[in-house]
Amino acid sequence: MKLIHLGTVFFVVEYLGVVAGALSGGLSAIRNTRYKYDLVGVYVLALVTAMGGGITRDVILQNGPPLAFQHPSYILIALGGATVAALFEHRMGPGMDRAIDLSDAAALGFFAIAGTTRALHDGLTVLPSILLGLVTAVGGGSLRDVLSGRSPRVFERGQFYAIAALFGSATFLLSDTLGYSRTTSTVIGTVSCFLLRTLSIRFNWRTSPIRSAREE
């Protein structure tokens, strides 16, 4: 396998995902009405959201220690994002929910493309690359949900989440196949995921439950 250098597009996107994920996790902890998290809880949920998906991906690939443990910059960037989130502790305004949605959508897009790129770099084909993009995108948020005492959002009826990640990953791969530069493909895939996720929230596009209300 070729080494992945810190200056590549992959690391730029991954680091942006770490920042957005840390913000999402930290803000979610502050916003949680079921539990009253202290500063430790905010930081832990922020770190889990920021790095959980990437670590899960790298463990699946079995190609050395996870990148988050090879490069301390991951942890430092996640801590920085968590600190920014912690500054909102006493500023629970009406825009908090929107800030969580936007940071979560951004993290979803960045991680979907980072995971897909990492899989391609390891020589995997299209379908496994899309699946690893999905794992990277939803892994941290799912771990955050479990630690917050709720079912992972990705499994429940609701606005597009996993679907948005899959769409972004597939769009990135299509652009790459059509011969666009890796940077251009990355932008197209990330924006596609982000837009689908935010539009589903804006217009309340929802997936359908398997069991209807009449069966309950």
Name the pTM for this structure.
0.90
- The pLDDT tens digits of the residues spanning 2-46 come to 445 545 889 999 999 999 999 999 998 988 888 889 999 999 999
- The pLDDT tens digits of the residues spanning 125-175 come to 999 999 999 999 999 999 999 998 888 888 888 889 999 999 999 999 999
Distance CA 28, CA 117 (A): 28
Distance CA 116, CA 186 (A): 10
CB count, 10 Å around CB of 98? 12
Residue ranges covered by each domain of the chain? 9-153
